Structure 1
Amino acid sequence: MRRTSHSHRPRRGTAAGALFATAALLAVGLQVTPAGAAPPGKADPGALPAKLSPSQRAELIREADATKAATAKELKLGAKERLVVRDVVQDRDGTTHTRYERTYDGLPVLGGDLVVSASKAGTTESVSKAAKAQLKGLDTKAEITAGAARTQALNAAEADGGKKIKAERAPRKVIWLGGGSPTLAYETVVGGLQKDGTPSELHVVTDAATGKKLFERQAVHNGTGNTQYSGQVTLGTAQSGSNYTLSDTGRGNHRTYNLNRGTSGQGTLFSGPDDVWGNGSPSNLETAGADAHYGAALTWDYYKNVHGRSGIRGDGVGAYSRVHYGNNYVNAFWTDSCFCMTYGDGASNQKPLTSIDVAAHEMTHGVTSNTAGLIYSGESGGLNEATSDIMAAAVEFNANNPQDLGDYLVGEKIDIRGNGTPLRYMDRPSRDGSSKDAWYSGIGNIDVHYSSGPANHWFYLLSEGSGQKTINGVAYDSPTSDGLPVTGIGREKAALIWYKALTTKFNSRTNYADARTGTVAVAGELYGTSSAEYKAVQDAWAGVNVGTRPGGPGGTTYENTNDVQIPDNGAAVTSAISVDKAGNAPANLQVGVDIIHTWRGDLVVDLVAPDGSVYNLKPFSSGDSADNVKATYTVNASSEVAAGSWKLRVQDRAAQDVGYINSWKLTFP
């Protein structure tokens, strides 16, 4: 039956932001900067991240803030738009990457973030935007009240299974840009508990004209001591008189607190008359504190020593850790609002989730939040989770702890399932029974812990290559989706490429295609576009079904990246690509489609050949409520002459949702 209003359009919910899914227990405008004269296999020193002190970073932020009006003018932003500096990172050659949020007529623009990369001389080299839509002539007068938006948000939290729900603050008026077209809306933050007992910080965006939900996201991201998992280790502590505390004065004063099975508050700072913490047994409450404190120190050291980042925000300030959350709580999570990591004690309170990789995973959620800000939903949510897994593996290998050697397994020490298996496998993610090995159209609709699989797999392939091998005593066997081999470049290079892309290319809406674009660009900047590293990045993405291999299948690609607006319930629109290839088109012509739209089932998508022949790629489907069409279709076009004007034709056949053709391409094997 045809729906008549938005009320018949339930939006998909977002997954809980913990280390694992409860049910399972567990760019635009990018340019490649030519690399310098670095030897083959070595990164261009100038393209490496600079090691900024907190004061140097603060000065760069002050400079960006002082020139933000000029930057807005250069970017041709509207008269009512303003830029807000969020973060600044710099390369060693002086290239500066400034991340901005936007406001419109004083209202925050959600999904309007962008990164401007400028040379040492101040020349803008590239701009990466989360959304292309222009902000002009918007009416900022709401049709519904803030109270109505609050009620709608509370109902959404209840529908997600929330408990003890409450609005943490009054709804604020915003411009919502996450759906492609700017919409006046309210954002309400709902607290309480998620259905598994994890604290909730649910952000609900409500249309200020209709009162309907536009989007929701969960902001709680579920990451000498005698430790349970790492043996006897050295901890950073503080002494006052005859008393010691788990306060790491050498790492931003990171502190570790004991919640003592509580679920609120900061807890009690671990303290004692000696500088010995725990006995290796979970029955001693200090043991979990020692593990968490140690994991935080290793993560701090990795980011600072390897990537030049001083703390999660880059400002030299340490987060804090809370252990012994709840009773038999089988999870861990990062919370932006408290700038802290929280760890449960696991089943029967015997397996605290405080191993090295879990600690690094949770802290990395903080790094992601303070850099790219990947929205914890859809494909960007999967990339958010994968970032935490990727950097956790990098931290674990870098630590080289003999009791917990580096591996490409996630949570192997905490034994969530109780059968000795890890939470996730990076060499072949599907081994956990739910994660995906490769990208496919619709992967953004599954739980973010499972849609992280392709990026985790990409990192493993880029680090170690495909096929069978044993590393630190662990056997791996990594396949590729195209059946072709991938040669690894080493995990240090792979992690560097991902981190630099995260901090200089990715934005809140980055999807898998964008992640490929960003990492390829970074590989070119670091190692040159003719390097083995540059090719390997593309090969690894092809190995998880994102893009094609250079010089191999799909060697001839034609693309149109110009936006074409799609009228709501209106006439069909087209985007054309001119092909100059001789002979007939192939039987396996690849049509890559990237369409931004808030209800993709409304759309009919066709490929129109030069002679007018029509090949339907996607039919109308009123019940398909997911966002966007991001897919690669295979068309038997062997009866068509290749040369000529090919068109992508898109028509919206239902009212109330809008979007645009972002880009599309034709690939001739």
Structure 2
Amino acid sequence: MSRLRQHVPALRKDRASRTSGASRTSRRLATAGVATTAAVLMAAALSPTAGAADRPTGASAVEHATDALKDRAAALGLTSAQGTAVRDVIVDRDGSQHVRYDRTYHGLPVLGGDFVLHLAPDGAYRSASRATRSTLSLPSVTPKVSAPKAAGIATQALRAVNLGQSLKKLQAKPRLVVDALHGAPKLAWRTDAVAQDTQGNPVARTVLTDATTGAQIDAWDSIETATGDGSSLYSGTVPLETTASGSTYQLKDPTRGNTYTGDAANKTDLCIFGICFVRAPSTVFTDTDNHWGTGATADRASAAVDAQYGTDETWDYYKNVHGRNGIAGDGKGSYNRVHYGKNYNNAFWDDSCFCMTYGDGDGSTFGPLVALDVAGHEMTHGVTSKTAALNYSGESGGLNEATSDILGTMVEWYADNPSDAGDYLIGEEIVRSGFGKPALRFMDKPSKDGNSADYWSSSVGNLDVHYSSGVANHFAYLLAEGSGPKTINGVSYDSPTYNGSTVTGIGRDKVGKIWYRALTVYMTSSTKYAGARTATLNAAKDLYGAGSTEYAAVAAAWSAVNVN
């Protein structure tokens, strides 16, 4: 069998020369009774403005935002009982600044308390994007429902969504929060319930419980996944950067933040509430001749090749297209674990380890989940977590999943790999005969999967987030390619519209730029579909102008999926 060629670093020197580390600045500020801790990711702030000495830096953007908070604390609903912390900073090419904050109330995290300050190049306040506008004032932050009771509610919820399985090592940890996402702000328990299924694979669910009444407010899966999204060993011969170590090579890329791929040895994690007592290994792959894998599943290194390649292309897409230096924007690389669990039909991004994890699939429904679009999808969850942090339930959860589908698809197109050509199918490489469909999801007409929504309705938020994502996926396809039948890269598509309109596409590159800017500048944790329309229109206006063809196309595409 042919062996996958590992190219030496010199062949990718052009990309290496554009990759650099990033510094981090932290400072503590106090304004108008509002305590502000600023952890500024300098790479994220500087990436659009590198080399422009006369433009604001990330640190100066935070200083300007601090002044704006001092003047506008009351308008933003900030009081002495609240604290704020900088999550992300974006500085545009023209010097405009966007500083994103999280909020606390008497030291408790506020779900839906996040907001973004938009500032002019000279630091003057322009506007703010707020997740919620409710007044934060609670009679007490002492719960009437005990923590053990909240834990019991969460464990019951986890059992309920895993019917037919005997869960092992079931644990739950409640954390007191203020919930401003679901109506009037209220004291709540946010409880993470974790366990292992019958095969030892992890299952987890987060349950939000009213700390006064004990009523369940919301619940969602804690492992952000696109179940089965991915493919195995279909990328052909790909270039890889490695690290020489004595007489061997490590599958570690020094040009992309030292990202690396390790073998999980078919083991799983034992983690409770973010504390891992046992981590599945991530033993870095090594090779003696710098030629990795055989393209067959029997060689454990073959899956590692796909995982590392997916990481490389995702890094390069965000760096070269959006100016983002790594998932967190700080130049630091993540790592991959392949061969995780036993017949594990999943792949997931985990913020706690800053890593990507891939199962091997069961062989009948899915193959190994190490495809290019899986890497792009799952690592985009990491980007979302570091920016808008879209809540993983309801319409916001659908937008979270759609963000990973949309930008993961853009990674696949960016890679331009003839062995896995760009398309608007999600997970087409990994599905096996037992799945019964040629892909997991279909962006041109999401309902082809039998579950996803083509158009918005008031009930969309009640769907699983992988299916409510269909509305935004359909929007993105229409905006990129337009409506009606067409064949692209050998794949036939036929995209309808809710209102019978004809939509003309503006091209996938512009769609990626519009969605990324909307995510990082305008969306917040509570953004729903109506808010996504506003966010993408604002992004299109910033990038192309309010009277542009692109701006009009964004409006038309949203109307075509019934988001008006």
TM bucket by the smaller chain? Answer: 0.7 to 0.9
In structure 2, what is the equivalent of residue 501 of structure 1? Answer: 518
Aligned: 1:301 with 2:316 = yes
Counterpart-to-counterpart distance in 2, 1:155 and 1:347 = 28
Residue identity opposite 1:123 in structure 2: A
Call closer, same or farther: CA 1:132–1:277 in 2, change over 3 Å. same
| Higher helix residue share | 2
Greater mean deviation of Cα atoms: 70-79 or 439-448:
70-79
1:346 to 358, 361, 368: 361
Counterpart for residue 50 of structure 1: 48
- 1:172 alignment counterpart: 175
| Mean CA deviation greater in 417-426 or 388-397 | 417-426
Matched residue, 1:651: none
Contact 1:69 1:83 in 2 (8 A): no
Q: Paired residue for 1:380?
A: 396
Q: For 1:316-352, what per-residue CA distance to the aligned partner results, in whole angstroms no more than 9, with x for missing partners?
A: 1111111111222222112222211111112338821
Q: CA deviation at 1:368?
A: 0.9
- Structure 2-normalised TM-score? 0.83
Amino acid of the structure 2 residue aligned with 1:214: I
Aligned residues: 494
> Could you tell me which residue of structure 1 aligns to residue 374 of structure 2?
358
- The reply to whether residue 542 of structure 1 matches residue 543 of structure 2 is no
Aligned position for 1:71: 69
Alignment CA distance shift 1:462-1:66 (3 Å):
closer
1:423-454 CA distance string (max 9 Å, x none): 11111111112111111110110111111111
Shift of 1:417: 4.8
2:337 matches 1:322 = yes
Post-superposition offset of 1:272: 2.4
| Equivalent of 2:503 in 486, 494, 514 | 486
Map Cα deviations across residues 19-63 of structure 1 (whole Å, 9 max, x no partner): xxxxxxxxxxxxxxxxxxxxxxxxxxxxx971669xx99962586
Give the C-alpha shift of residue 73 in structure 1: 5.0
Secondary structure in structure 2 of the residue aligned to 1:50: coil
User: What is the CA distance between 1:362 and its match in structure 2?
Assistant: 0.7
SS at the partner of 1:390? helix
Are the aligned partners of 2:68 and 2:124 in contact in 1 as well (CA < 8 Å)?
Answer: no
Structure 1 residue 123, shift from structure 2 partner: 1.5
C-alpha offsets along residues 610-664 of structure 1, whole Å, 9 cap, x if unaligned?
A: xxxxxxxxxxxxxxxxxxxxxxxxxxxxxxxxxxxxxxxxxxxxxxxxxxxxxxx
Structure-2 separation of matches of 1:134 and 1:446: 29
What residue number does 2:58 align with? 60
Determine the structure 2 residue equivalent to 1:515. Answer: 532
Q: Write out aligned runs for 1:139-178 (5 A).
A: 139-161=140-162, 163-167=167-171, 169=173, 171-178=174-181
Please identify the structure whose Cα radius of gyration is greater.
1
Counterpart CA distance in 2 for 1:166 and 1:65 is 46
Where does residue 237 of structure 2 map in the other structure? 232
Tell me, yes or no, if the aligned pair for 2:482 and 2:502 is still in contact at 8 Å. yes
Q: CA deviation at 1:195?
A: 8.5
Pair 328,93 (structure 1): closer, same or farther in 2 beyond 3 Å: same
Q: Distance in 1 between matches of 2:256 and 2:108?
A: 36
Aligned position for 2:208: 205
Instruction: State the partner residue of 2:246.
Output: 241
Q: 1:488 to 1:67 in 2, by over 3 A?
A: closer
Deviations 1:462-490 (A, max 9, x none): 00111111111111111111111001101
The percent of aligned pairs where both chains have the same amino acid is 50
Equivalents in 2 of 1:154, 1:405: separation in Å?
A: 43
> Which residue number corresponds to residue 87 of structure 1?
88
The alignment partner of 1:450 has SS state of helix
Letter in 1 for 2:209: T
Could you tell me which of 207, 214, 218 is aligned with 2:221? 218
Q: Which runs of 5+ in 2 are unaligned?
A: 1-45, 227-231, 270-279
Residue in structure 2 matched with residue 40 of structure 1 by the alignment: none
Deviation track 1:529-567 (CA, whole Å, cap 9, x = no partner) reads 2111111101111111111xxxxxxxxxxxxxxxxxxxx
Q: Which moved more, 1:457-466 or 1:182-191?
A: 182-191
Q: Is the 8 A contact 1:154 1:165 kept in 2?
A: no
SS in structure 1 of the partner of residue 101 of structure 2: strand
Q: Which residue of 2 aligns with 1:117?
A: 118
| Counterpart position of 1:533 | 550
- Give SS of 2:202's match: coil
| Paired residue type of 2:475 | W
2:129 equivalent in structure 1: 128
Structure 1: runs of 5 or more not aligned? 1-47, 548-669
Of 312, 317, 323, the residue aligned with 2:327 is: 312
Q: Distance in 2 between matches of 1:58 and 1:192?
A: 47
Q: C-alpha displacement at 1:519, in angstroms?
A: 0.6
Name the residue aligned to 1:21: none
Give the counterpart letter for 2:399 in structure 1: L
Cα gap change, 1:173 to 1:261, in 2 (>3 Å): same
Please name the residue that 2:36 is paired with: none
Partners of 1:88 and 1:266 in 2: CA distance: 34
Task: Give the superposed CA RMSD.
Answer: 2.5
